[in-house]
Amino acid sequence: MTKANRSERKKVIRSAIIVFAAFIAVWQIISTLTPLRDFVPSASSVISAFIRSFYIPIGKHTMPHHVAVSLFRVLVAFGIACFTGVILGVLMGYFRIAEAIIKPIFEFIRPIPPLAWIPMSILWFGIGNTSKFFIIFLGCFTFITVNTYVGTKSVDPVLIGAARMLGANERQVFLRVVLPSTVPYIFAGLHIAITAGWSAVVGAELIRSDDGVGWIVNMGMVTGNTVQVMVGMMAIGIVGFVLATAMAALERRLCKWNQQEGM
């Protein structure tokens, strides 16, 4: 079975590479040979600018610095979001009172997009990193909370009964049954959240800064440099893909038991 899986995986990777190459080719054709060329910078120019950005700075810094700065902001905010989101979700799912108090507030805040918070955020936290953490945090924390909440709610009551029958007390039921069976839901939330947090970086870096991949895009827009905008987009896409993949790998490692049925 593992053998079959591996060859299956190879096939998927191969076709992904082919599709990607085809995409670049089509892009290049559209951006050089069709009337759309005035609106789309060519693939070759974007890719070469992207490569160049590794040793020639955009603004004050080179690409690795921009990526590292943005990653730092996202990971800090994501870490705080994990912590608060899981706790809030468990509270809401496990305690009736917490649910009654927190849920309405939460549902009220949830539909407000992170971008709408920027003015208030600047007012409260200034224009430093704290503001950016806050915006990114808002972009990802809701997903973690909601998933944890749903997971805690959907624990199989028979399993809780089984644990009680084996002599588990309240605390043990919570720690040994409720939490572990929520883990796959939490991971599903983390998975969406890391991507959402990473894409909130563009918004967060609208707040005055001079580095970060979001800043590259914003600055490109302000100066009308479409190539720079697309270089920034490319960096965001690649890093986002890597983050999502890493998250999936982590999930596979930590939730070994949650694999497909059967041998």
Partner 1 sequence: MESTRRDVTKNNKVIICENVSKTFEGKKGSVNRVLDNISFSVRENEFLVLFGPGQCGKTTLLNIIAGLEKPTSGRVIVNNKEVTAPGADKGMVYQTIALFPWLTVMGNVEFGPKVRGVPKKERQEKAKYFIDLVGLNGFEKHYPSQLSGGMRQRVGIARAYCNDPYVMLLDEPFGHLDAQTRYMMEDELQRIWQKEKRTIVFVTNNIEEALYLADRIILLTNCPSTIKKEYIIDLPRPRNYVDKRFLQLRKEITMNMDKSQY
Nearest approach in angstroms of CB 161 to partner 1 is: 5
Q: Which of 115, 159, 206, 221 binds partner 1 (CB under 8 A)?
A: 159
Work out whether 259 is an interface residue with partner 1 (CB under 8 A). Answer: yes
Q: Which of 30, 32, 153, 164 binds partner 1 (CB under 8 A)?
A: 164
Binding mask 165-194 for partner 1 (x = CB under 8 A): xxxxx--x---xx--xx-x-----------
Distance (Å, whole) CA 81 – CA 46: 34
Distance (Å, whole) CA 50 – CA 119: 32
Nearest approach in angstroms of CB 10 to partner 1 is: 25
Residue number, 4 or 166, with CB nearest to partner 1: 166
**Of residues 17-56, those binding partner 1 (CB under 8 A):** none
* CA nearest neighbour of 190 among 247, 152, 241, 150: 247
Work out whether 2 is an interface residue with partner 1 (CB under 8 A). Answer: no
**Chain centre distance of CA 222:** 26
Nearest approach in angstroms of CB 159 to partner 1 is: 6
Alpha carbon distances (Å) from 173 to 46, 56, 178, 185, 257:
55, 57, 6, 18, 19
DSSP state for residue 255 in the 8-state scheme: T
| DSSP letters spanning 49-87 | HHHHTTTS-BTTB-HHHHHHHHHHHHHHHHHHHHHHHHH
**Of residues 128-157, those binding partner 1 (CB under 8 A):** 156
Nearest approach in angstroms of CB 162 to partner 1 is: 5
Distance (Å, whole) CA 20 – CA 141: 32
Residue number, 15 or 258, with CB nearest to partner 1: 258
Within 10 angstroms of residue 118's Cβ, the number of other Cβ atoms is 18
DSSP state for residue 221 in the 8-state scheme: H
Residue number, 169 or 222, with CB nearest to partner 1: 169
Residue number, 44 or 258, with CB nearest to partner 1: 258
Nearest approach in angstroms of CB 46 to partner 1 is: 46
Which of the ranges 44-52, 134-142, 201-209, 252-260 carries the binding residues for partner 1, by CB under 8 A? Answer: 252-260
**Lookup: tokens for 253:** 């490692």
Work out whether 4 is an interface residue with partner 1 (CB under 8 A). Answer: no
Work out whether 263 is an interface residue with partner 1 (CB under 8 A). Answer: yes
Which of the ranges 124-132, 187-195, 217-225, 250-258 carries the binding residues for partner 1, by CB under 8 A? Answer: 250-258
Report how many residues bind partner 1 under the rule CB under 8 A.
27
Give phi and psi for 258, each to the nearest 5.
-95, 35
Three-state DSSP class for residue 37? helix
Angle of the 43-52 helix axis to the 226-254 helix axis, nearest 10: 70
**Where does residue 209 fall: left (phi above 0), alpha (psi -120 to 50 degrees), or beta otherwise?**
beta
- The residues binding partner 1 (CB under 8 A) are 156, 158-159, 161-169, 172, 176-177, 180-181, 183, 255-263
